[in-house]
Amino acid sequence: MKKFLKIFVLILAVIIILAGIYFGNHAWHIANIGAAYKAKILCSSVFISNRNPEDVLSEDLSDPRLNIIKVKIDYERKQVIATAFLGIVKRVGAFRQGLGGTLDLGEADQKIAIEKKAPPETYSLNPWPEGNVVDLNNLPSEIDRDNLNAAVDYAFAEPDPAHLRRTRAVVVVYQGRIIAERYADGFTKDTPLLGWSMTKSVINALAGILVGQGKLSLDAPTPISEWQHPDDPRRAITLDDLLRMSSGLEFSDRYSDLFSDAIVMLFREKDCAGFAIDKPLIADPGTKWTYSSGTTNIISKIMRQTYAGNERQYLEFPQHALFHRIGMYSAVMEPDAAGTFVGSSHMYATARDWARFGLLYLQDGIWDGERILPEGWVQYTTTPTETAPHGKFGAHWWLNPRSVPIYNEKLAADLPSDLFTARGHHDQFVTIIPSKNLVVVRLGLTLTNNTWNQAEFLTKILAAIL
């Protein structure tokens, strides 16, 4: 009996130890994720968006699970330090001019910055989009002002206090001019806002520019060194496979799961692209569609490789090749600690600049008579991906497959079939409807599913065009 009791006690002790290790690692992981998220969001919101930190903490970082994370803002060094467990867990978000906020940089990397080009002197005098002057008084005759105002009112209304829409910015562009614009309290036309996965559609544009320059090929195997072993089936993956989310690589993209690949990649890994590159195949390239933020960061790495070690040229590439050319002077794409742009998720721009980006695609990649995107690129982008359910996805843009699920909602059946949209976490949208000569931007902080209805909003906007 004593021997049995000793064995029982020993087994119980082992179980307790293993449980302690498991739950300790679990708590450690969650604390690291929470500290990283809080440091990153607060850093970018304060130093890019120039927002009041108390507002960011009470709105963007209001999740009760983040209460154990303490933060300190170092305005001199432009850092946010987030800690938990009496400082045992520590994550730092550091701001750099032209590059925004990045987690866990080394001292040398913190000194790297790029020059952000200032708008020309005529910018404040000329009409949007060449300048930044907007006249909402003299609308085209076919615009019903009452219906348009009602649509914008819908965007900012809060019919359910338990499920807030939290719309922060709306910009509606018709025939190349802004016909409606509104901002929530605390936000203005000059407030850069996070696009989350809308950044993926910007990566589409940057990849297109490099394809047009002959530096990348859509159909050639991607030049990822980790995949080049003759026996590695990943060496067959093409840029087209990646842009169409059909690489066949394993990746879980659930933001509700703190252990998903997307969360770990963004908030635990210093090298986001490297994390995604290491994933195994679960299907032959080009045969299975899987939405994957890791895929986009692999494209970011491929673009970086075209600069053959000239890191400054790579970091300046989005500004010189795209943003400055179409007047997106507020735009900032943020790299990770390894120096590769987090193309899946981390880009800030004002609502007007997000609208400029949409207008570029509405105009078939041409801006002020200059071709920015290669001829045929927008058509390629909006051609349905064969492996995507119902053809709901093109090349890093969402399409309108008419009344089939897009995330957790349905686009209304009567919305134009040529609609395509960039979409981001918390319901960020840049929607383009070529048949109506329309670009609609909606930015916000919608935290609960099915609270924001983009289809209904677009339907109300379309009702204002007679």
From CA 106, how far away is CA 110, in angstroms rounded?
6
Mean pLDDT of 186-193: 98
Mean pLDDT of 83-94: 94
Q: What is the pTM of this model?
A: 0.93
pLDDT score, position 16: 52
Confidence category of residue 129, pLDDT binned at 50, 70, 90: very high
Confidence category of residue 116, pLDDT binned at 50, 70, 90: confident
Question: Could you report the per-residue pLDDT of 99-109, keeping only the tens digit for each?
Answer: 999 999 988 88
pLDDT score, position 22: 43
- Residue 79 — φ and ψ, nearest 5°? -135, 155
CA dist 108 → 55, 95, 104, 222, 337 (Å): 31, 13, 12, 31, 11
Question: Could you report the per-residue pLDDT of 43-52, keeping only the tens digit for each?
Answer: 999 999 999 9
Question: Higher pLDDT residue, 352 or 115?
Answer: 352
Residue 15 has pLDDT above 70, yes or no: no
Architecture of the domain delimited by 145-224+313-462: 3-Layer(aba) Sandwich (3.40)
Domain ranges for the chain: 27-111, 145-224+313-462
State how far Cα 377 lies from the chain centre: 21
Mean pLDDT of 264-290: 97
Asked if residues 267 and 334 have their Cβ atoms less than 8 Å apart, the reply is no
Confidence category of residue 4, pLDDT binned at 50, 70, 90: low
pLDDT score, position 270: 96
**Max avg pLDDT among 59-68, 302-311, 354-363:** 354-363
What secondary structure, in 3-state letters, does 284-335 show? CCCCCCCCCHHHHHHHHHHHHHCCCCCHHHHHHHHHHHHHHHHCCCCCEECE
pLDDT score, position 414: 77
Residue 236 has pLDDT above 80, yes or no: yes
Integer-rounded Cα Rg, in Å, for the chain is: 23
